């Protein structure tokens, strides 16, 4: 590997997946691998809120305490939701993430999904740049680093279809 390569700082983007088991009763098998969420979710409202997350924003409202990032401005390029039976997969791609950013975004999306807030309220949460206006941080048990993209010069390429 090139001596200038750094696994974290050479990355162009990262994709995280968050898995939610949406059912009245928890799964003993998935307990440690997903977030159990028993309330019915309005997935259309969650998807509508993606519009406000995409693009370059100051994500201070989703930053966890103890974050060492020098700049809270990040660019979310993709955000998708897939449902398969009782499992909900939310994939988020960004140039980089703040500490606990994905888990805090998911908590806010769940609040939108249970009609606590409207999708457009996400715009205001971002503008306020204050963690207290975002949803609760969800458990790490459903969070997975799915993919990291590097410049072609490093010749790191893999097929993500083998992961999920």
- We report the CATH number of the domain holding residue 124 as 3.30.70.660
pTM score of the predicted model:
0.92
Residue 30 lies in a domain: yes
Residue 108 lies in a domain: yes
CA of residue 81 relative to chain centroid, distance: 11
Residue 6 lies in a domain: no
Residue 145 lies in a domain: yes
For 133, the domain range is 13-149
Residue 160 lies in a domain: no
The pLDDT score that the predictor gives to residue 72 is: 97
Q: Specify whether the CB–CB gap between 95 and 75 falls below 8 A.
A: yes
Per-residue pLDDT tens for 98-134?
Answer: 999 999 999 999 999 999 999 999 999 999 999 999 9
The pLDDT score that the predictor gives to residue 7 is: 79
Dist CA 132 CA 16 (whole Å)? 23
Per-residue pLDDT tens for 58-93?
Answer: 999 999 999 989 999 999 999 999 999 999 999 999
Residue 155 lies in a domain: no
Structural domains of the chain, count? 1
97-100 long-range contacts (CB < 8 A, ≥24 apart) are 97/14, 97/16, 98/59, 98/60, 98/62, 98/63, 98/64, 98/67, 98/69, 98/72, 98/74, 99/63, 99/64, 99/65, 99/66, 99/67, 99/68, 99/69, 100/62, 100/63, 100/64, 100/67, 100/137
| Sign of the dihedral defined by the CA atoms of residues 35, 124, 63, 151, in that order | positive
Residue 139 lies in a domain: yes
The pLDDT score that the predictor gives to residue 161 is: 53
Q: Give mean pLDDT, residues 33-57.
A: 98
The pLDDT score that the predictor gives to residue 20 is: 98
Per-residue pLDDT tens for 126-164?
Answer: 999 999 999 999 999 999 999 999 888 777 776 555 455
The pLDDT score that the predictor gives to residue 98 is: 97
Residue 164 lies in a domain: no
């Amino acid at each position: 590997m090139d001596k200038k390569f750094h696994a974290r700082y050479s990355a162009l983007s990262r994709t995280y997946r968050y898995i939610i088991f949406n059912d009245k009763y928890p799964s003993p098998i998935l307990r440690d691998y997903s977030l159990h969420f028993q309330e019915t979710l309005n997935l259309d409202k969650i998807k509508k809120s993606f519009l406000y997350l995409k693009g370059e924003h100051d994500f201070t409202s989703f930053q966890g305490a103890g974050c060492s990032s020098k700049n809270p401005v990040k660019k979310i390029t993709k955000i998708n939701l897939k449902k398969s039976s009782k499992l909900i997969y939310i994939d988020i791609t960004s140039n980089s993430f703040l500490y606990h950013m994905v888990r805090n975004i998911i908590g806010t999306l769940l609040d939108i999904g249970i009609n606590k807030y409207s999708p457009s309220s996400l715009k205001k949460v971002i503008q306020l740049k204050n963690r207290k206006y975002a949803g609760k941080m969800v458990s790490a048990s459903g969070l997975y680093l799915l993919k990291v993209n590097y410049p072609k010069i490093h010749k790191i390429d893999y097929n993500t279809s083998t992961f999920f």
